[in-house]
Structure 1
Amino acid sequence: MARKVAILGASGYTGAELVRLIATHEGLEIAALSADRKAGMEMAEVFPFLRHLTLPRLQKIDEIDFSGIDLCFCALPHATTQQVVSALPRTLRIVDLSADFRLRDPAEYAKWYGQPHTAVDLQKEAVYGLTEFYRADIAKARLVAGTGCNAATGQYALRPLISKGCIDLDDILIDLKAGVSGAGRSLKENLLHAELSGGTHSYSAGGKHRHLGEFDQEFSKIAGRPVHVQFTPHLLPMNRGILATVYVKGDPKVVHETLATAYETEPFLKVLPFGALPSTRDIAGSNFCHIGVTGDRIPGRAIIIAVLDNLTKGSSGQAIQNANLMLGLPETQGLMLAPVFP
């Protein structure tokens, strides 16, 4: 029997992506969908690409009966999620796609998000949702905090290298390009077609991007001492995808071998042959992350390129991967769909 799930914030991009993926997931059934301004509407009105599906009508969160729900996906804005999750039944299993429970230290949350955390008890309970590295904890968790999409991409490129000590931890640079859907569906002047199309720009440069909090937390935990990377994201005029170019000091062949060995049995992480480099078109609409490694003309330096779809492996696909573990379902169920090409 399929497990019943609710999606809160179903009128956003990650909410729609959850619906798209769950539509062919034999182990999950969508029992409730919420939206704020669009409550009362059908999903087909909000997202015509889903009109072939029979789905519950969108409703307010306080109208949902959670008594028959096995798991709830929260695809809500940060800060909002703290209040919503605090009011949900304490027996309900939750996968949160927002930033509210990613950082374990409340002071770090306040630093990066500019306001105090209002659900510190829940923050202590939350398990960080980078599936491949927290499987056992996720399977037992009641509340899982999904990672940032940029943070996930950088971590897939670097975690095994930091763990094995095969790169210089004081000289790591992440140059990242992201599609516009990562900024959400809210109307923003800088995301208008005339403002964005035909160009690209960096943002949150100089150590200001919030996902640096996740890099600091996770990389320092692995290394057992502070690790601070340089990170600059760029917004590209494309709908989906992230490409992270990571520059490190280390033997390129050792870097490649370390990543290939670490991810040899991972169903969604594909390390390419040495010298082959991936593109965002290789993973569009899928739960796969492709990683390539090459050497630099300067000896002792390696370049790692990691790509994933920010809405799938970086968010909603990751959320379903975690939900599968939490509900005792096969981890890959509903997620082995091939990328979309061209």
Structure 2
Amino acid sequence: MQIQTLVLKATCVAILTLLTLRPAVSAAEVAPLERSVVHRADGSPVSFLAEAGARGTQDALIILQGTGCREVSDNPSAGRVAELLAPDRRLVLINQPGVIAGADLELVDGCPTDYWERSTLHQRTLDMLLVVAELRRSDWWSGKLVLFGGSEGGAVVALAAALIPETQAAIVFSSGTGMTVRELIRRALPPPVAAELDAQIAAARENPSGGTRWAGLSYKWWADAADVMPARALALSSAPILLIHGAQDTSSPVEAARAGRDYLTTAGKDVAYFEYPALDHFMREVGGEDRLPEVMEDARRWLAGVVRR
């Protein structure tokens, strides 16, 4: 039990938890969110939310959170990032597979059954494509889009950016893109737990089931994600790319972010890399001082310099 608890804690951090940036934005700073649903080919729903209000034609900002089945509208950090980064863009948030805004779902190990059965990096990528297809039908959308992903959401942004032609910029936050998920997690886990990793991944590939879980994630997730290196997909995008990382990040080791920068640079991509020597996964100093506003101001200036309005 002690080992399993340690695995769960360490891996959920290593896979880059919910974009839990602090302090939370107040409700007055975020426009109301409207719940919407699109459907996959098999009829299953993809739940997303977009800022409400008639404000004329607008560009969009999609923010993707990390792992976990928390309903995205319950995560105030996304609103804070949107307010700091691009308050003039309309915020769009996409729920994890199996998580439906406002629905009262039966939970297994704290999450809906459909979350365990569907949540993978590639399913999240496909879900984003469906949501963008729906945005194209919206009267308010200008056809211009910025992608921002934190933690696991950064990996999804990397996978999706080249597939969405309207992407003007892709921002990857606290997410090491230059290593496979397997290697990233191996570096973040305590050695006794890391020693189990390859065997667990092999077992997941033999039985990629949502009903079997290790370290807080389904075998289906592990089988899908283990050997994904997000920078490979991100290198296919023609959009400007910004990687943001704290050198004191113990959840997503900074070496993985540097490797992503090097891979993209070698591939000839338009990539900027902002590394903050004193900051951690959440852009805080060792004493807990929150530096997210300064980091997002740097990102905002970069965005203004690469995106034509």
Report which structure shows greater RCO (CA 8 Å, sep ≥6): 2
**Structure with max Cα Rg:** 1
TM-score category, normalised to shorter length? 0.3 to 0.5
Q: Which has the higher helix share?
A: 2
Q: TM-score, normalised by structure 1?
A: 0.35
TM-score (norm 2): 0.38
